[in-house]
Structures are given as structure tokens and as C-alpha cells.
Amino acid sequence: MFLISLLFVAFAALSYFAFGEETQGVITTNLGPGMISALVQLGLGINLFFTFPLMMNPVNKLVERRLWNFKYCLWLRWLLVLAIFGATDYANSLSEWIRSADGCRGRSPV
């Protein structure tokens, strides 16, 4: 765990050294438009596509154990995936609304 934390801190420090005060929260936005930025974003998308089922497996097992008596249930898995996508969409919409509300009051967005 310490090694992973050290890698994250090193990456953040190098990003700050490379981009200075203009460092964005999402590091791929610092790359600007171009082929490298598109390839990095494509790689991140592919990574998310293949790791999402691995991350969802324990959740699926837990929910199936509680609600479906330890049996595989395809519709329940689809329902969980849709619920997670809905929650992330709601969280993104909520954060955008909070940013715009803070901007209207003259405060700097977080």
C-alpha cells in the first residue's frame, strides 16, 4: 500500500512540475488536443471497459447472495450496472450544478 501511495504522490508531483499552477484535476485535460491526448483517453476508456466487470464481481456476488439465494441472476446484474451508471450521472450533474451555483454567487469553484 505504501508503494502505491508513493507512486500516486510521485505522479502528482511530476504533473505539477510539468504543468505548474494550470494543473487540471483530470490530468488528461492538461495534454491538450492532439494524437497523444486522444490515445491516452482511448487507453483509459479501454482500461475502464475491462476492469469494470472485475470491480463489480464482489458487488454482484454480495447482492445475489442477499437477494437471490446464491444463484446467478442476469437481470439483477444489469440492474446493478444501470444503478451505478445512474449514480455516476447524477453525481456529475450535481457537481456541475454546484460549480455553477458557486460561480453565480461570485465564489471560485472548488
Tens of pLDDT, residue by residue over 64-92, are 888 877 777 788 888 888 888 888 777 77
- Sort 64 into a burial class: Cβ within 10 Å, 0-12 / 13-18 / 19+: middle
Q: Quick one: residue 95, left, alpha or beta (phi over 0 = left, psi -120 to 50 = alpha)?
A: alpha
Whether the Cβ atoms of residue 56 and residue 79 lie closer than 8 Å to each other: no
Q: What is the pTM of this model?
A: 0.52
Domain-by-domain residue ranges, the chain?
55-110
Question: 102 pLDDT band (50/70/90 cuts)?
Answer: low
Tens of pLDDT, residue by residue over 35-63, are 888 888 888 888 888 888 888 888 888 88
Mean per-residue pLDDT for 12-32?
Answer: 77
Q: What confidence score (pLDDT) does residue 10 get?
A: 92
